[in-house]
Amino acid sequence: MQETLILDTTLREGEQAPLVHFSVNQAVELAGQIDHSGVDFIEVSPIVGEKQRQAAKEILAQELRATVVLHCRARKEDVESLLPMDPKFIAMFLSTSDLHLSSKLHISRESALSRAVEMVEFAKSHGLKLRFTCEDATRTDRAYLLEMVRAVSSAGADRISITDTVGMMMPALMFSLVKEVRAATGAGIDLHCHNDLGMALANSLAGIEAGADCIHASVNGAGERAGIPKIAEVAMALQVLYGQRKDIDIGALAALSEKFSRISGLPTDPFAPVVGKNVFTHKGGTHLAAVLRHGSSYEAYSPESVGKRRRLVVGGYSGRNVLHYLSETLGMKMTDAQVEKALLRLKEKERDLFDFAL
Amino acid sequence: MQNGISVFIGAVTDEKTRTSDVVRAIRAIREVKTIYELTGSLDLLILAQSDSIKEINNLIEAVRACEGVRETTTYLVLEATENK
């Protein structure tokens, strides 16, 4: 399997989350830090407003290592509005499901198909590389979706994005869908999976196993509704489960998570993989005993890999092992009787008293 | 839940060293919060706090290394209750 690409869309999808707004300076600074982490694409959305357009201009001027993708609708005026920015890569989206075509766009399948081809050809005529996004792809009639994929590929689309817009896929279904899309096009395949049922990362990885080569993610998973995969968990999953993307600096992604929380005022979920406050914190007595001997006893990846430290909680759930450890490490020379008495007092508390880093 | 470890370090000092000099040396240790001068079997009681057990261990060693400190005993704080 080839190395999976990662597209960060914090500045586009992420800013569509409630309460999330980036100033131009914040967007430019975030783009620089996202780039530093080693991702492949950074998506921005200049068509939203003047602020986003200015941010996109300044981000393009930074000449980042990652490819900056300008996101727009599959409309001529949108593509034309991007041309003065001298983009190298754009992404245009068009709904493909009958539900969206009838209730949102009020056009037929045939009209959507011809519009898609026309817009791809228009962008290509200006020398642009582009991704064509089939919005609501997973709820689209399969035969029509494949017809659309073949048509925009023939028109010159460099990449196709398969979107699980409302997050209703399951990994096995995503695998079979992407297998068919893979057979229908030679273009790169992106996966944009929403997390409404908590399946976004699993669906993305299933799609990768079926032949897609790029996962969309954002810092802390920010996005519409339940969001999309968290970029730190995507990178860690690729490293731990597939042995890929060792070049991604996950410590930098953890720092980005904290920065995003500060800017947005949205705290990071303590249970969030990789970046959550609790990820390397152990509490149960048997867990502490095992972790004190071998850190990996209860960890999928080391805290050092994320630039963090392992923590232990002492309180009502503790056993005598942690007390012996504290006694020996701090040179307290507690007798067995003193340890037993301390243990009884911990149990009496029936709650957590303190935690500490190893 | 309190973040980090708190310990009291009881110290017996050397009669030949001025207590104020010992206190001055211990105050230089970052994790030390309060130093109590006592009568009785202990001369000093030092309250120290840190997020990390390694740092606590290092500070205990640093206290022991201060000139005039003859012996120390460490007590781990399980819980502190303030009487407001």
Give a yes or no: residue A66 inside a domain. yes
CATH number for the domain that contains residue A176: 3.20.20.70
Confidence of residue A271 (pLDDT cuts 50, 70, 90): very high
Give a yes or no: residue A269 inside a domain. no
Final residue of a domain: which of A208, A239, A264? A264
pLDDT tens readout for residues B25-72: 999 999 999 999 999 999 999 999 999 999 999 999 999 999 999 999
Give a yes or no: residue B27 inside a domain. yes
Which pLDDT does position A147 carry in this prediction? Answer: 98
Q: Quick check: A333 pLDDT over 90? A: no
- Which string of DSSP letters, residue by residue, matches A241-267? HH---TTS-HHHHHHHHHHHHHHH--P
Final residue of a domain: which of A264, A298, A317? A264
Q: What angle do CA A143, A178, A237 make, to 5 degrees?
A: 160
Q: Quick check: A38 pLDDT over 80? A: yes
Confidence of residue A134 (pLDDT cuts 50, 70, 90): very high
Give a yes or no: residue B21 inside a domain. yes
- State whether A207 and A351 are in the same domain: no
Per-residue pLDDT, averaged over A168-184, amounts to 98
- State whether A60 and A103 are in the same domain: yes
pLDDT tens readout for residues A308-324: 999 999 999 999 999 99
pLDDT tens readout for residues A46-55: 999 999 999 9
| Contacts B77 to A, Cβ<8 Å | 354
pLDDT tens readout for residues A177-230: 999 999 999 999 999 999 999 999 999 999 999 999 999 999 999 999 999 999
The average confidence (pLDDT) of chain A is 96
Domain count, chain B: 1
Distance from CA of A313 to the nearest CA of B (A): 9
Q: Do A329 and B2 touch (CB under 8 A)?
A: no
Helices A171-184 + A142-155 axis angle, to 10: 40
Which pLDDT does position A350 carry in this prediction? Answer: 87
d(CA A27, CA A16): 14
Final residue of a domain: which of A264, A295, A320? A264
Give CA separation, B3 vs A166, A285, A342, in Å. 40, 19, 19
Which pLDDT does position A198 carry in this prediction? Answer: 98
Give a yes or no: residue B62 inside a domain. yes
pLDDT tens readout for residues B17-26: 999 999 999 9
Give a yes or no: residue A276 inside a domain. no
* pTM metric for this prediction: 0.92
Give a yes or no: residue B81 inside a domain. no
- Which string of DSSP letters, residue by residue, matches A292-338? HH-GGGG-SS-GGGGT---EEEEETT--HHHHHHHHHHTT----HHH
CATH number for the domain that contains residue B15: 3.30.70.920
Domain count, chain A: 2
Give a yes or no: residue B38 inside a domain. yes
Joined together, the tokens standing for residue B78 give 């399980």
- State whether A167 and A204 are in the same domain: yes
Q: Do B52 and A329 touch (CB under 8 A)?
A: no
d(CA B60, CA B31): 10
Give a yes or no: residue A99 inside a domain. yes
- State whether A160 and A240 are in the same domain: yes
Q: Do A354 and B51 touch (CB under 8 A)?
A: no
Q: What is the rounded radius of gyration, in angstroms, for the C-alpha atoms of chain B?
A: 13
Q: Do B78 and A355 touch (CB under 8 A)?
A: no
What are phi and psi for residue B78, nearest 5 degrees?
-80, -40
Q: Quick check: A1 pLDDT over 80? A: no
- State whether A246 and A291 are in the same domain: no
| Contacts B3 to A, Cβ<8 Å | 354-355
Which pLDDT does position A2 carry in this prediction? Answer: 86
Note the Cα B65 to chain centre separation in Å: 12
Joined together, the tokens standing for residue B84 give 């407001």
- State whether A233 and A113 are in the same domain: yes
| Contacts B51 to A, Cβ<8 Å | 356-357
Give a yes or no: residue B41 inside a domain. yes
**Closest to A329 (Cβ–Cβ): which among B3, B53, B78?**
B53
- State whether A229 and A136 are in the same domain: yes
Q: Do A352 and B1 touch (CB under 8 A)?
A: yes
- State whether A171 and A299 are in the same domain: no
**Is the CA virtual torsion A260, A264, A313, A198 positive or negative?**
negative
- State whether A250 and A309 are in the same domain: no
- State whether A260 and A194 are in the same domain: yes
Confidence of residue A13 (pLDDT cuts 50, 70, 90): very high
- State whether A77 and A218 are in the same domain: yes
Give a yes or no: residue B60 inside a domain. yes
Q: Which of A335, A354, A355, A358 to mutate to test the interface with B (most CBs of B within 10 A)?
A: A354
The ipTM (two decimal places) reads 0.94
Distance from CA of B54 to the nearest CA of A (A): 7
Give a yes or no: residue B83 inside a domain. no
| pLDDT more than 90, % of chain A | 97
Confidence of residue A57 (pLDDT cuts 50, 70, 90): very high
Q: Quick check: A120 pLDDT over 90? A: yes
Give a yes or no: residue A275 inside a domain. no
Domain that holds residue A71: 5-264
The reply to whether A352 touches chain B by the CB within 8 Å rule is yes
Per-residue pLDDT, averaged over A277-289, amounts to 93
Per-residue pLDDT, averaged over A333-344, amounts to 94
Distance from CA of A342 to the nearest CA of B (A): 9
Domain that holds residue B71: 5-76
pLDDT tens readout for residues A228-258: 999 999 999 999 999 999 999 999 999 999 9
Please name the residue of chain A whose CA is at the shortest distance from the CA of residue B78. A353
Confidence of residue A344 (pLDDT cuts 50, 70, 90): very high
| Contacts B79 to A, Cβ<8 Å | 349, 353-354
| Contacts B52 to A, Cβ<8 Å | 309, 356-358
As a residue count, chain A comes to 358
Give a yes or no: residue A173 inside a domain. yes
Looking at chain B from residue 20 to 59, which residues have their Cβ under 8 Å from any Cβ of chain A? Answer: 50-54, 56-57
- State whether A164 and A289 are in the same domain: no
Looking at chain A from residue 254 to 313, which residues have their Cβ under 8 Å from any Cβ of chain B? Answer: 309, 313
